[in-house]
Structure 1
Amino acid sequence: MSEVLGIGVSHKTAPVAVRERLALTPGSVGEFLRDTLAVGDVQEAVAISTCNRTEVYVVARDPVEAETRVLGMLARKAGIRPTELAGSIYALRNCDAARHLYRVTSGLESMIVGEAEVQGQVKRAYDDALAAKSTGPLTNHLFRAALATGKRVRSETRIGSRRMSVSSVAAALVSEQLDGLERREVLLVGAGETSELAARALSDHGVEAIFVANRRRDRAISLAQRFGGQAMSFDELPRQLERADALLCTTSSPHPILTGEDVEAVMEARGGRPLLILDLAVPRDVAPEVRDVPGVSLCDIDDLQAVVRRNRSVRQVEAQHAEGIVEEEIQRFAEWLGALEVMPTLGALRARGQAIAEQIVRENAGRWESASEKDLERVAALAQAVVNRILHEPTLRMKNVADDRVHLRMQVIRDLFGLEDVPEGIEAEEPLAEVRPLRRRNQPGT
């Protein structure tokens, strides 16, 4: 039987220095998914990569083997041994994996509890997997249900009422560090969704000038016009840094775009005037050694957590309501998954019982020398009736199993009855045949 397996790291288990080494850039997701499908017996795969997490959801017959192989892939990507990465990795199966994904999509696992951007990030991850043709029945149902759960949480609770996000918290931190943002000049590097949200938050805080640098000139111009800023090229970045009050980086570059040497030159031109840099990118846009440059205050995505903790209590009541919704939806998933688990196992169990009954009848065929054809038919019917009677109660109980331990219970049954070698997909007949009394040959109508 195939299982759903979720493997990943997040801001709760690994620092940004580890997460950035595991991050998947938009251009690399398709290749990573294709490589994952080539691992062991992995049949389906979806990968989520954001500034706070990298997670891979796979469907495989042997989850232990799949976990080992996928962990090895992630370790190779990070350039470290699997044993070093093991302390940061979490691996979840079936309903536990689904529950985690539901919580992620609902914003319950986010650094900013309830932030809405993660819903779009999960959808894009699913769309990327569809484009790579790496999904299947289990992941399709899982991700569609997760997205529906996230939508329900946001429509039925006020968990996202303040519309807090990493970008809005970053803007608040810049305001705090600069003692207000009125008439300040802030440089944005990157023009994606995070930059757009940051530009909106900065504009709301009264920033006078927003300079946007992006490799896509049209996107940079559009963003700058919407928020009263100016667009510029990457080549202009050092010169603009000489006058800006703060820099906020959000690109998807796989390598740093600012080194210690770059920033040292900028600080020399600034004449000792301090510079605040917020790096929200994963992988990081600003090399870690920039933190040691005199006059520079560098904050990365993990440094935002202190600000986040001050706002966490505001959403606790709504988060509890959201938790209840997630659990309701998980029960639905468990029932759906249980149906997939129970019917093949039930069919295999019935097929095994029928095969044993037929085998016993064949083995004893020569012992009834005087039996007529009808007598032999009655013996065969009796053997099948015994099987049906024995399986009747287990059948009813198996069909009523509807919790998140369905897979484990079905696996126990398959192990006990040796069903692993029985073909899957056998549907149990409904209803089980009745047990009818044998009629004596000398009775009327025989």
Structure 2
Amino acid sequence: MVLFSLVSSHKNVDLNTVATLTTGVGALGPALVNEGPLKGLVTLSTCNRLELYGEALATDGDVDRAVDAMVATISDAADLDESFVRGSFEILRDEDAASHLFTVVTGLESAVVGEREITGQVRRALMNAREEGTASGELIRLFEAAARTARTVGTETALGERGRSIVSVALDLAEEVATTPWKEAHTLVFGTGAYAGATMAALSARGCHNVWVYSASGRAEEFTAKRGGTPVTDAELTQAMTASDVIIGCSGGSTPFSSETFPEGNHIVVDMALTRDFDPSIADLDGVELITLESVRLAAPEEANESVSAARAIVEKATREFRAHRNQQNVDDAIVALRRHTMAVLDTEMDKVRHQYGCGAQADQLEFAMRRMMHSLLHTPMVKARKLAAEGREQEFMDAIEALYDITVPEPAAEDSPEADTTPAGHDVAEQQKAS
């Protein structure tokens, strides 16, 4: 099996492209796994990235066919040109895909380096894939290794100790241009997803308690009962927007507010939704200060070099260990398959012997001798297989037993339950759009 990833993030494309691609991701679903070229699929979608992790067969062209199918599906669903979609993704395979995920989950690839919210997003991506039935055994192992790497970075380095996140940096920017202190400001939050929850907590920590919450799907009352604030209905929305000093978009609604419908007055607008809650043209209105994800990315402070270097060293070590474990797992499965094949041949021959000569002591002695001979014959191939695995050449052994004995190594079984992850959940676009 081959692991691979399609990566589109703020590192290689603009955020508008990420948002546009995201609109077509919902069409990928279980069909490509159950009936298509994929053995597994996990989708990681956040405010700054869209990453698709897949597993395909190891035969020539399987990854290419899987990528073609994914690109075509996204293109059709989002009404985009296939060449545009393909050019918006960076394709990584096996060790490179694993290394990238480990780098992402530790916050090293985030717009705000070291943010902890991404760990929760990665965890939820695997949970969603499990629920949809698209999480293959190898992808589960990959994402659980990523969770372990994030915990190691969190405990062994100072990366992210200052608690910076996209929310905190966005509110810092708002505070720089505000004329009203947080304790006196009236704030309106769009959305009730995890991103909105993180925003409510950050506002409370800054002393802002005059908070209204609006949800287009009617979840504001339930949300505010748990997190504080006052729910706003559709009929009250215009009045609340007019009275708000700060308006924060976290919902990712399908129809952003345009400059024509935006209320007059002095407002700081923080748009943290990837698919935008507010049209960029509102920045041209008198009295409006617009802060976007791009603004946050440009303003994000640098982490200390020693923390970043230490975290990258942990990622590199985790990548090597994942590769070695995967190589060993593959060759162990191949050895088991070879042993099962040879013992099945022996059992068949012994059945013939007993059928012809009976089940006496001589038959037992013959079976004992033949089994010892089989073990002796298998010893050298097994030693060689483990040596090849240590060199990253286990596929040569697997190809050999398939060519000689027509043995296909079965896919490793998925584990029943994922490793526990106590990292607080962060924000992700999919959850925002479901819950807002």
Tell me which interval the TM-score lies in, with the shorter structure as reference length: 0.7 to 0.9
Partner of 1:42: 38
Shift of 1:286: 1.5
C-alpha distance 91-300 of structure 1, shift in aligned 2 (>3 A): same
Shift of 1:402: 5.3
Instruction: Give the number of the structure with larger relative contact order, counting CA–CA contacts within 8 Å between residues 6 or more apart.
Output: 2
Partner of 2:419: none
- Residue 409 of structure 2 corresponds to residue 425 of structure 1: yes
Shift of 1:233: 1.9
C-alpha distance 34-40 of structure 1, shift in aligned 2 (>3 A): closer
Shift of 1:421: 9.2
| TM alignment of 1:150-169, pairs within 5 A | 150-169=150-169
CA RMSD of aligned residues (A): 3.2
Partner of 1:97: 97
Contiguous gaps of at least 5 residues in structure 2 = 342-369, 411-436
Tell me, what secondary structure is at the counterpart of 2:30?
Answer: helix
Tell me, what secondary structure is at the counterpart of 1:130?
Answer: helix
- Contact 1:185–1:245, Cα closer than 8 Å, also in 2: yes
TM (normalized to structure 2)? 0.76
C-alpha distance 73-121 of structure 1, shift in aligned 2 (>3 A): same
Return 165-174 or 233-242, whichever deviates more. 233-242
- Contact 1:334–1:402, Cα closer than 8 Å, also in 2: no
Partner of 2:139: 139
C-alpha distance 224-131 of structure 1, shift in aligned 2 (>3 A): closer
Shift of 1:180: 6.2
Tell me, what secondary structure is at the counterpart of 1:262?
Answer: coil
Partner of 1:79: 79
- Residue 309 of structure 2 corresponds to residue 320 of structure 1: yes
**Aligned-partner Cα distance in 1 for 2:400–2:127:** 40
**Aligned-partner Cα distance in 2 for 1:14–1:120:** 23
Q: Select the structure of larger CA radius of gyration.
A: 1
Shift of 1:301: 1.1
- Contact 2:331–2:397, Cα closer than 8 Å, also in 1: no
Tell me, what secondary structure is at the counterpart of 1:261?
Answer: coil
- Contact 1:191–1:219, Cα closer than 8 Å, also in 2: no
C-alpha distance 209-45 of structure 1, shift in aligned 2 (>3 A): same
> How many residues matched?
373
C-alpha distance 294-337 of structure 1, shift in aligned 2 (>3 A): same
Identity of aligned residues (%): 25
- Contact 2:338–2:407, Cα closer than 8 Å, also in 1: no
Shift of 1:224: 5.6
Matched to 2:219, the amino acid is R
- Residue 287 of structure 2 corresponds to residue 303 of structure 1: no
After superposition, the C-alpha distances for 1:97-149 in whole angstroms (9 at most, x for unaligned) are 11111111111111111111111111111111111111121111111111122
C-alpha distance 65-241 of structure 1, shift in aligned 2 (>3 A): same
Partner of 1:221: 224
Shift of 1:412: 6.0
- Contact 2:331–2:398, Cα closer than 8 Å, also in 1: no
- Contact 2:213–2:220, Cα closer than 8 Å, also in 1: no
Tell me, what secondary structure is at the counterpart of 1:260?
Answer: coil
**Aligned-partner Cα distance in 1 for 2:242–2:166:** 26
| TM alignment of 1:117-266, pairs within 5 A | 117-178=117-178, 181-182=181-182, 183-207=184-208, 209-214=210-215, 215-222=218-225, 225=228, 229-253=229-253, 255-263=254-262, 266=263
Tell me, what secondary structure is at the counterpart of 2:269?
Answer: strand
Shift of 1:346: 6.8
TM (normalized to structure 1)? 0.74
**Aligned-partner Cα distance in 2 for 1:13–1:223:** 38
C-alpha distance 208-43 of structure 1, shift in aligned 2 (>3 A): closer
Tell me, what secondary structure is at the counterpart of 2:40?
Answer: strand
Matched to 1:216, the amino acid is R
Shift of 1:96: 1.2
Tell me, what secondary structure is at the counterpart of 1:108?
Answer: coil
**Aligned-partner Cα distance in 2 for 1:251–1:325:** 35
C-alpha distance 165-324 of structure 1, shift in aligned 2 (>3 A): same
**Aligned-partner Cα distance in 2 for 1:212–1:37:** 39
- Contact 1:40–1:65, Cα closer than 8 Å, also in 2: no
- Contact 1:220–1:232, Cα closer than 8 Å, also in 2: no
Tell me, what secondary structure is at the counterpart of 2:109?
Answer: coil
Tell me, what secondary structure is at the counterpart of 2:181?
Answer: coil
Partner of 1:333: 322
- Contact 2:249–2:273, Cα closer than 8 Å, also in 1: yes
C-alpha distance 414-81 of structure 1, shift in aligned 2 (>3 A): farther
Match of 1:399 among 386, 397, 407: 386
Tell me, what secondary structure is at the counterpart of 1:48?
Answer: strand
Matched to 1:419, the amino acid is A
- Contact 1:185–1:210, Cα closer than 8 Å, also in 2: yes
- Contact 1:213–1:220, Cα closer than 8 Å, also in 2: no
C-alpha distance 219-15 of structure 1, shift in aligned 2 (>3 A): farther
**Aligned-partner Cα distance in 2 for 1:179–1:119:** 35
- Contact 1:113–1:315, Cα closer than 8 Å, also in 2: no
Contiguous gaps of at least 5 residues in structure 1 = 353-380, 427-446
After superposition, the C-alpha distances for 1:170-229 in whole angstroms (9 at most, x for unaligned) are 11010012156342222111122222222232333343522221220333322562xxx4
- Contact 1:102–1:326, Cα closer than 8 Å, also in 2: yes
Shift of 1:69: 1.5
Tell me, what secondary structure is at the counterpart of 1:148?
Answer: helix
C-alpha distance 210-315 of structure 1, shift in aligned 2 (>3 A): farther
- Contact 1:187–1:248, Cα closer than 8 Å, also in 2: yes
**Aligned-partner Cα distance in 1 for 2:196–2:224:** 13
**Aligned-partner Cα distance in 2 for 1:220–1:322:** 36
Return 116-125 or 416-425, whichever deviates more. 416-425
Matched to 1:168, the amino acid is S
Tell me, what secondary structure is at the counterpart of 1:297?
Answer: strand
Tell me, what secondary structure is at the counterpart of 2:87?
Answer: coil
| TM alignment of 1:359-370, pairs within 5 A | none
Matched to 1:59, the amino acid is E
**Aligned-partner Cα distance in 2 for 1:85–1:185:** 41
**Aligned-partner Cα distance in 2 for 1:283–1:259:** 14
